[in-house]
Amino acid sequence: MNFRSQNSQRFQLPFGLSLLAHGTPRAVINMLNRFHLSPCFDTISSTAVALANGCISEAINVAKGPHVLAYDNIQASTSPLIEQREGAPPKVQSGTVSVIYPAFNADSNDMTLSQIRKNWCRTEGLSYTHDIRQTRRQLESHFEQLIVHVVRVLRHLKGSDTGGKGALTQGIH
């Protein structure tokens, strides 16, 4: 297998993009390139720019038709260290990211302001009991999954010598 071929980048390119995203220094990426584990820094950087431009083009095309724009808050860690010194720059940056995606099977006539207002005036509002509150079965399922995920995390903590053989971890893979 030729690891240097552009047609054989199933591991190297995603790995290199991951290195770039995690702030790996240029020298380390270029060293990994010499071991054929990653493309060189310049290739990864140009690939990241091409991916970003492709995403922008796709978003422009999606925005031309019926679409939904969603926002989410993000927190990006700027340091692997936990301790925060007084007067030092913050170790976490907060922001908002927007995601645009197509609204499938949407009718543009339903998206006019007059139609939205008409539908809003017809609604009776939300009822906590009927629309928001979980049923007993949903709550039980939620807590069961919560336990599964918490136990899975606890199993991987240092010092866990039971190897997942405890009563709580039975049936968890």
Q: Is residue 97 part of a domain?
A: no
Least Cα distance to 15 among 24, 122, 7 occurs for 24
Kindly give the residue spans of alpha helices, DSSP state H, lying in 23-170. 26-34, 41-63, 113-122, 136-155
**For the segment 8-23, what is each residue's pLDDT rounded down to a tens digit?**
678 899 999 999 988 8
Q: CA 105, 107, 113, 116: dihedral to nearest 10 degrees?
A: -60
The structure's pTM equals 0.54
Q: Is residue 12 part of a domain?
A: yes
Decide: residue 48, CB within 10 A, 0-12 exposed, 13-18 middle, 19+ buried.
middle
Q: Is residue 173 part of a domain?
A: yes
Q: Is residue 80 part of a domain?
A: no
Single out the residue in 64, 84, 113 at which a domain terminates: 64
Q: Is residue 88 part of a domain?
A: no
Least Cα distance to 79 among 93, 67, 66 occurs for 93
DSSP conformational letter for 22: T
Single out the residue in 42, 64, 86 at which a domain terminates: 64
Decide: residue 38, CB within 10 A, 0-12 exposed, 13-18 middle, 19+ buried.
buried
Least Cα distance to 33 among 14, 63, 12, 54 occurs for 12
Per the structure, how many domains does the chain have? 2
**For the segment 49-91, what is each residue's pLDDT rounded down to a tens digit?**
999 999 999 999 999 988 999 999 888 777 766 666 787 777 7
Single out the residue in 64, 82, 97 at which a domain terminates: 64
Range of the domain at 14: 1-64
Average pLDDT over residues 112-128: 87
